[in-house]
Structure 1
């Protein structure tokens, strides 16, 4: 396949939202507000692995934005449109942004003749605080739903097929996608899902625990969360994260994330086949995923043992549930260990194989001494697999650094 020239549109606003309110579509003709901004957030705990983002973007709560990368010239005449891949970033529900240069879909769109959408959503307390009279919780999931509605309505303008949407995401982004498979409002908004290194055990927390953390957050904030400066919210968020880790001993679970039984998540999810479980799913993990995270009191052992416990076993169990629901499920393990990287096949190492450019990833410690020619050559194989799955739900034969998994 010959690479096609592409264009990148954005950042584009897909919704607006008042603090602690659900998102709504932008009003035509209303003042535009800032673009190119990211949700207020602390530094990522994975800066030591990924490096800090090199595109310094201003932080602002008006951050419900996305970018679209598409081949110039669009689909062939008479075609319903090109397959669409919608990216939800990771970052522990506390950091990241879809519009960052890391998540530029240029190579994927150019090589594979697909449309790539990278969407952001609200994070931390702004996205997931549950506090009576202040925030209903799970606002970040409502944001993602609104982004998918925008894609359904507008993606044909960019040459995409609104009937062939694949969601792909990593870590917290993959958890979001797994949860959207339980959400009635998401029915019909996507056909396929790619779950990259989803730590399923921390996908949600119980309502009572979330409410308790919300009250702790409010007490540490010491003022009305609805009017507090973003810097004060982030400071209280940091204190809450430390308290949550002290209580649980879990260094992986975020203080603010999705809450079970809080809209749009149902209180008790029924069998997958009664919801969105008939979507095709490609799932997997990286061989050394847990090298990115320190051992904790409830998570000790070698990197291999911890990776099996946090990723391999839960994701393998999910495959059985999917297949019983009638879905097609395919598994992979990514085994690429960049030369002289201290992290091996770590959490996030697949990201530059899929998205971004040499400039965006030039300071990533996890890439060790790999030059971009190597990253790009290996990445082309991974991008081919992802795009094949997006086209018709079958990733086809996998080649190194991917190992196909069988149940």
Structure 2
């Protein structure tokens, strides 16, 4: 759908009262199951399916709340949306969003990730991207899937932006990628992927758990064999390349249960090995903003925690690895800023938890209604802080510096 976005039933007019154009869903690529993506052909006039990748429920439903919109699920899922203040020739900064969800759940088309407020207030173009998840995106199995397909989907989305975003009022030479959790891990890997070189100039990494960035290929292949064994139970004689999506998800669930003996935080399917290239060369001349939420680890109660205080696990999983990355990026020639979000909504048992910055950046009141992590905070409080956070992110996308930040957000220049 293209046109001025208007408040829907129950939506917050404060987030939608400025006219923006929201285009999509748009099919940016196509792919055979377990194959690399190909750009959608210019003569392909089929309407987008609007699908997101087949997926199980998110393990963070208890924290974020389950999604209130229901999107069709299917393998024609390489879709994106574009939200822009105007389809003109202003050549605005472009912000490309890669969602989180442990490489197993989520979708850029979901209402949580509506970029209307960010686009309108920041005068930027926001692109929200689906990519393949779980076994469909990250299975590593000899003769079936090479792995890292979801990462290559993201590269193809960035190529689509490079080719088409001028028609949506955006500047293809001024692209910022921003993502949270698994989306931030993806961005870290895109920094060293040769195919992504030159497709973005700035990056925002939100709560990237770098300790689980990528697994060795041998370990990923072993998990792939477990997946194949479990698929044979759910669909005897089936080939992974043709089995029903429901059987794939059942085998994926079983693989996740087997993997929990090793880690409750690391997903069973995710990036494999080092895709290629050198981080230092890819980071040179990038502007990078990275950070975490002060209580990120309260979202993962099953993780070992000696004294019940989330500070230690949050420091080990987020602060220390991200700080080391920031220092490395600075040495490589990147211009780097770091942030920490300390906002703890009244009445929330989670504090400044994982995902808490999301309603400050994206989505509207209707999408985040009754989200447990927001506690007793009313939407006016969320939106007041959100306007300041959105202004900082938009300023970074425009200048490489976040500018003035609200007290709940501390920010410092690394180099």
Q: CA deviation at 1:326?
A: 1.1
Are 1:40 and 2:54 counterparts?
yes
Structure 2 Cα separation of the partners of residues 73 and 242 of structure 1: 47
Are 1:187 and 2:197 counterparts?
yes
Q: What does residue 121 of structure 1 align with?
A: 131
Q: CA deviation at 1:73?
A: 5.7
Contact 1:353 1:383 in 2 (8 A): yes
Per the alignment, in what secondary structure is the counterpart of residue 389 of structure 1?
helix
Contact 2:82 2:128 in 1 (8 A): yes
- Kindly provide the CA deviation profile for residues 325-371 of structure 1, in whole angstroms up to 9, marking residues without a partner as x: 11110000001111101111100010000000001110311111111
Q: Map of 1:12-91 to 2, 5 A cutoff?
A: 12-30=26-44, 32=46, 35-72=49-86, 74=88, 76=90, 81-91=91-101
Structure 2 Cα separation of the partners of residues 399 and 234 of structure 1: 42
Q: CA deviation at 1:25?
A: 1.1
Are 1:225 and 2:258 counterparts?
no
Per the alignment, in what secondary structure is the counterpart of residue 29 of structure 2?
coil
Q: What does residue 331 of structure 1 align with?
A: 338
Over 3 Å counting, the alpha-carbon distance change for 1:28 and 1:404 in structure 2 is closer
Per the alignment, in what secondary structure is the counterpart of residue 205 of structure 2?
strand
Q: What does residue 9 of structure 1 align with?
A: 23
Structure 2 Cα separation of the partners of residues 45 and 161 of structure 1: 37
Q: CA deviation at 1:392?
A: 1.4
Pick from 231, 252, 268 the counterpart of residue 237 of structure 1.
Answer: 252
Q: What does residue 9 of structure 2 align with?
A: none
Are 1:96 and 2:106 counterparts?
yes
Contact 2:215 2:272 in 1 (8 A): yes
Q: What CA RMSD, in Å, does the superposition of the two structures yield over aligned residues?
A: 1.4
Q: What does residue 402 of structure 2 align with?
A: 395
- Kindly provide the CA deviation profile for residues 13-70 of structure 1, in whole angstroms up to 9, marking residues without a partner as x: 0001110011111123346265221100000000001111111111111000000000
Q: CA deviation at 1:74?
A: 3.5
Q: Map of 1:1-400 to 2, 5 A cutoff?
A: 4-30=18-44, 32=46, 35-72=49-86, 74=88, 76=90, 81-222=91-232, 223-246=238-261, 248=262, 250-261=263-274, 265-266=275-276, 269-270=277-278, 272-297=279-304, 300-301=306-307, 302-400=309-407
Structure 1 Cα separation of the partners of residues 281 and 359 of structure 2: 36
Structure 1 Cα separation of the partners of residues 208 and 46 of structure 2: 35
- TM-score, normalized by length of structure 2? 0.92
Structure 1 Cα separation of the partners of residues 254 and 240 of structure 2: 15
Per the alignment, in what secondary structure is the counterpart of residue 337 of structure 1?
coil
Contact 1:38 1:61 in 2 (8 A): yes
Structure 1 Cα separation of the partners of residues 302 and 53 of structure 2: 29
Q: CA deviation at 1:319?
A: 1.0
Contact 1:41 1:123 in 2 (8 A): yes
Contact 2:48 2:79 in 1 (8 A): no
How many positions carry a matched residue from both structures? 392
